[in-house]
Amino acid sequence: MSTRLGDLVDSLGGELIGDPQIGIQGIAPLDAAGPSHITFLSNPKLRSQAMATRAGALILSTAEHEKLNGFAGARIISDNPYAYFARAAQFFVARDARPVVPGIHASASVDPTARVAASAVIAAMVVIEAGAVVGEHCIVGAGSYIGRGSSLGAGTVFYPRVSFLADCHVGERGIIQSGAVIGGDGFGFANDQGRWIKIPQTGGVRIGDDVEIGANTTIDRGALEPTIIEEGVKLDNQIQIAHNCVIGAHTAMAGCVGVAGSAKIGRHCTFGGAAMVLGHLTIADHVHVSSGSLVSRSIAEAGQYTGFYPLAKNADWEKTAAVVRQLDGMRDRVRELEKQLRALSANNDSTSRD
Amino acid sequence: MSTRLGDLVDSLGGELIGDPQIGIQGIAPLDAAGPSHITFLSNPKLRSQAMATRAGALILSTAEHEKLNGFAGARIISDNPYAYFARAAQFFVARDARPVVPGIHASASVDPTARVAASAVIAAMVVIEAGAVVGEHCIVGAGSYIGRGSSLGAGTVFYPRVSFLADCHVGERGIIQSGAVIGGDGFGFANDQGRWIKIPQTGGVRIGDDVEIGANTTIDRGALEPTIIEEGVKLDNQIQIAHNCVIGAHTAMAGCVGVAGSAKIGRHCTFGGAAMVLGHLTIADHVHVSSGSLVSRSIAEAGQYTGFYPLAKNADWEKTAAVVRQLDGMRDRVRELEKQLRALSANNDSTSRD
Amino acid sequence: MSTRLGDLVDSLGGELIGDPQIGIQGIAPLDAAGPSHITFLSNPKLRSQAMATRAGALILSTAEHEKLNGFAGARIISDNPYAYFARAAQFFVARDARPVVPGIHASASVDPTARVAASAVIAAMVVIEAGAVVGEHCIVGAGSYIGRGSSLGAGTVFYPRVSFLADCHVGERGIIQSGAVIGGDGFGFANDQGRWIKIPQTGGVRIGDDVEIGANTTIDRGALEPTIIEEGVKLDNQIQIAHNCVIGAHTAMAGCVGVAGSAKIGRHCTFGGAAMVLGHLTIADHVHVSSGSLVSRSIAEAGQYTGFYPLAKNADWEKTAAVVRQLDGMRDRVRELEKQLRALSANNDSTSRD
């Protein structure tokens, strides 16, 4: 399928420099693009690659447009070429998508008291419990489970095999990927003479609009009040959000992040892969945590935070690790040296003055 | 629904100071509770909040009872207010639970040689293989899988979408949450000239009574002998227990913990989130490992252990990390300083004596 | 069932010293083996245990054979006793396996345009979408999902409840364990004034022959080009492979490892549990990363690499951690000491010469 470049720009905005009649089949990377592809330049390091691309059209910033010689195709000038690329990719995916056929697969098990919009798709082997609500144009992938009283806002998509347990609510245009478990019991136990007594977890989960949740990610229900994921949050795969957390709007977390119970994360934060946040902490807005870091205290100030241990050749690491274990003693030795040096120095001064 | 406070105390014990006729609807946090709620005080830092609560009844210790003025509602005195709260919450959940309707859902696939107790619930899309046994009052959630020859003790509950593979056994009153995989193959391979040869994993998994396993947690089967989870163990979400581990009774692990193969963990231990234990280690009883720590050696003595890297502003971290890499050299420099200082000092002494 | 020892050696190779008529029922560990078991010695530390074993036959190297006195049973001499043991274990598992009954379970939902080999097994509740291909002798476990246009090479086995989404391809003799999600969307978003714009992920996943993927492991599809897992790769449980990674042939990763987007991992590498690799890095062949290490830069040279923080008693750790935070200042103090000592020393020298 081919789209007129002019029609793409009419739809997405930006300034077109070049022939609007060019036919575009889709997106391709700089080095793989041909005359019927559109590509993009957002990283200045790739400028020379952009000069050499055979793409029919190139998305780039005004600054790069002025620096870029030697590219003969059409140009689309955008303030944010990467976001423009994202929207163009969405455009082509929507253009090429197979038509959605609404309806409930014969093998699905839907409780008669559940309300499923006529425009929704319920795939094979899905189970929907009593009182659940599935909004307009939702797609519930094969083998997914929707618990009692839970709800999906309009346009939300579950990939195959999502577990969305009782009393969980997700807003509009959400995506929940395969294997995710929303609404598992929070990890709450009281210790009584060495035995653990389960504290029933009766809060649910509330997820705002435009949230994406990755494969095999888990979000526990709250103990008494719900766990909250605000609008626009993006969670990658295998993330664990414990009970009663609040994840602020538009925060993004990469794979394998863990957030312990009752942590309150601000808005517009980012967490690198495998970062961990301890419980009951408060993290301000616009905090960025590096991959592999463990956040062991609240953070009140925006900024980039890091706490991981530098990688080394194993033999070097063993030496360093040995010293790290003795660091406390080493500080004392340095202090003692300073003291002796002061004494010696004073003595020498007096000797010299003699 | 409302319960007479006196009936609650008759059921759970503790000393009631106040009107047994008060009607209690349920549990609420200190700040949200009203006259028909019961709440609790277990953390002395919340004493002023407890003084101001509007709750109809308050669970607290004798010590707090004596310090707490200004709260006019009923009091329940307990040695362990948090455990009392847990039991009260269980009481209300049981009171309000919908009646369970035993039986096998029409869509389930149950092998004719499997034995399912008449009082058990087998939900939609469940698959139960040959020779499996499901005990009295078990609930097997929608889409769960029970492998050949596996068994569930009385009262055990699987949330939707559990994978419980062949030759796995769980005791009574267990809870296994959605997405958990019990009995996957242990990671066992022999290397032969650069190729990995799979070692079949034929041990199963044995899980004791009163064990809870969180969402998307994985427990591998043993290579030849079973992997063992003793009674009363509580595992949070996304924990990985490798083949041939033994997790001692009443040990609790928070989310994202990993335990490598053949590790033997003691009883009554706790592991903070994302702690990791290397293989073939032995950990004593009553060991407590902090979140994010990597246990790289056996621990023979009870106590609290920690090994993570302190979080810092990224710029500070970069400076520190640079020094950490040079630590080994720094130790040598300190030693050299000490030596020189000794020499200098000896020299000065002799000079002085001259 | 019993197998003549001579028949086993005829099948697997190696030199038999002893009676080929011995009947072997199966494999057992050194300390549990009886006269009808075969066992193995690969770790010299277990030599005294091997001397005492009651096993009917023992697999061992020439070197151990010469050192081992007192074991009266039959011996199989092999260059690689551990690999021989693996193959023997496979032999007994195959001997004892129940016959496979090909066919599609009545409850499965298979699109009429999918091609399923007549020798394949499709278990209960499986869903197979349009255009998918399931090769000869494949086994697709209960409740698994195979997306549109995806394919399984001959002899590949899915354990129950695998999610294998659209446009994913796995070669021959693969094993994918329960809960694994292959082909979830990569985590790709462009930020536009604080909002995240999804970048559609249209690359698939390509997996070579003889690959094993553990329980609840996730492998994301590529953004434009496929994510690639080369032949012979072995991934343990709960591993996260992000979009556009390449994992080189015969590389093995233990549980909970995470690899961020576009990382290129070499061949014959090993990663200990919970190791993390940042995005866009390149790791050479034959690199071995210790458990819990975070790989924060490319590695061009084969070898063992480590970067974790040594575990300590919590009280010791707190002291050390405090010093770590001050390390940068400590380096400056050491430098200052060196400077002062040089000055003092020079001064003393001149004093002495006076």
**For residues A306-330, average pLDDT:** 85
Question: Which of C228 and C351 is assigned the larger pLDDT?
Answer: C228
C202 has a chain A CB within 8 A of its CB: yes
Beta bridge partners of B17: B75
Cα–Cα distances in Å, from A46 out to A52, A216, B138, B181, B200? 10, 34, 60, 44, 48
Exposed / middle / buried, residue B156 (Cβ in 10 Å: 0-12, 13-18, 19+): buried
Cα–Cα distances in Å, from C304 out to B326, C31, C179? 19, 33, 31
CB A215 within 8 A of CB A178: yes
**For residues C184-191, average pLDDT:** 98
Give catalytic residue positions of C: 243
Lookup result for tokens 């041939």: B244
**Which percentage of chain A shows pLDDT scores above 90?**
86
The domain segmentation of chain A, as residue ranges, is 3-96, 103-305, 314-353
Q: Under DSSP, is residue B315 helix (H, G, I), strand (E, B) or coil?
A: helix
B258-259 β-sheet, strand order: B109-110, B127-128, B145-146, B163-164, B181-184, B218-220, B240-241, B258-259, B276-277, B294-295
Surface of C (80-109) touching B: CB under 8 A: 80, 82-83, 85-87, 89-90, 92-93, 105, 107
Q: How confident is the model at residue A28 (pLDDT cuts 50, 70, 90)?
A: very high
Which residues from B are below 8 Å from C179, CB to CB?
163, 179, 181, 216, 218
CB A55 within 8 A of CB A44: no
> Which CATH code fits C103-305?
2.160.10.10
Model pLDDT for residues A115-173, shown as the tens digit of each residue:
999 999 999 999 999 999 999 999 999 999 999 999 999 999 999 999 999 999 999 99
Helix H or strand E segment including A47: helix A47-52
For this structure, is A250 an active site residue? no
Q: How confident is the model at residue C311 (pLDDT cuts 50, 70, 90)?
A: confident
Question: Which of B337 and C161 is assigned the larger pLDDT?
Answer: C161
| Helices (H) then strands (E): counts for chain C | 6, 40
Q: Which of these, C88, C352, C5, lies nearest to A352 by C-alpha position?
A: C352
pLDDT of residue A352: 59
Q: In B262-317, which ranges are E strands?
A: 264-265, 270-271, 276-277, 282-283, 287-289, 294-295, 303-306, 312-313
* Beta strand pairing call for A163-164 and A145-146: parallel
User: Are residues C165 and A161, on separate chains, in Cβ contact within 8 Å?
Assistant: no
User: Are residues C216 and A179, on separate chains, in Cβ contact within 8 Å?
Assistant: yes
Backbone phi and psi for residue C2, each to the nearest 5 degrees, phi listed first: -130, 140
Which is the catalytic residue, given A65, A243, A250, A286? A243
Cα(first)–Cα(last) distance of chain B, in Å? Answer: 97
* CA–CA gap between residue C191 and residue C200 (Å, rounded): 14
Q: How confident is the model at residue A354 (pLDDT cuts 50, 70, 90)?
A: low
C-alpha distance from B352 to closest chain A C-alpha (Å): 8
Which residues from B are below 8 Å from C250, CB to CB?
194-196
Surface of A (167-186) touching B: CB under 8 A: 179, 181, 184-185
C237 has a chain A CB within 8 A of its CB: no
pLDDT of residue B151: 98
pLDDT of residue A271: 98
Which residues from C are below 8 Å from A142, CB to CB?
109, 127, 145
pLDDT of residue C1: 83
User: Are residues C240 and A234, on separate chains, in Cβ contact within 8 Å?
Assistant: no
Q: Which residue of B has its CA nearest to C308?
A: B294
Which residues from B are below 8 Å from C292, CB to CB?
276, 294, 296
pLDDT of residue B326: 85
Query: A3-96, which class in CATH?
Result: alpha beta
Q: Which residue of C has its CA nearest to B311?
A: C325
**For residues A294-320, average pLDDT:** 89
Question: Which of B266 and C321 is assigned the larger pLDDT?
Answer: B266
Model pLDDT for residues C115-156, shown as the tens digit of each residue:
999 999 999 999 999 999 999 999 999 999 999 999 999 999
pLDDT of residue B239: 98
Residue numbers in chain B where pLDDT is lower than 50: none
**ipTM given for this complex:** 0.94
User: Are residues C175 and B165, on separate chains, in Cβ contact within 8 Å?
Assistant: no
Residue C346 neighbours by CB distance under 10 Å: 10
* CA–CA gap between residue A28 and residue B278 (Å, rounded): 44
Model pLDDT for residues C63-93, shown as the tens digit of each residue:
999 999 889 999 999 999 999 999 999 999 9
**For residues A222-228, average pLDDT:** 96
Q: Which residue of B has its CA nearest to C345?
A: B344
pLDDT of residue C205: 98
The DSSP code for B44 is G
Which residues from B are below 8 Å from A188, CB to CB?
86
Average pLDDT of every residue of chain A: 95
* CA–CA gap between residue A19 and residue B293 (Å, rounded): 59
pLDDT of residue C167: 98
Amino acid at residue number C82: Y
Least confident of A5-9, A48-52, A94-98, C309-313: C309-313
Helix, strand, coil percentages, rounded to 5, for chain C: 20, 30, 50
List of chains touching B (3+ CB pairs within 8 A):
A, C
Q: Which CATH fold would you assign to the domain B162-305?
A: UDP N-Acetylglucosamine Acyltransferase; domain 1 (2.160.10)
pLDDT of residue B354: 54
Burial A120-146 (b: 16+ CB within 10 A, else e): bbbbbbbbbbebbbbbebbbbbbbbbb
**For residues C212-235, average pLDDT:** 97
Q: Does the fold of domain B162-305 match that of domain B3-96?
A: no
* CA–CA gap between residue B119 and residue B114 (Å, rounded): 15
Model pLDDT for residues C14-52, shown as the tens digit of each residue:
999 999 999 999 999 999 999 999 999 999 999 999 999
pLDDT at C348 over 80: no
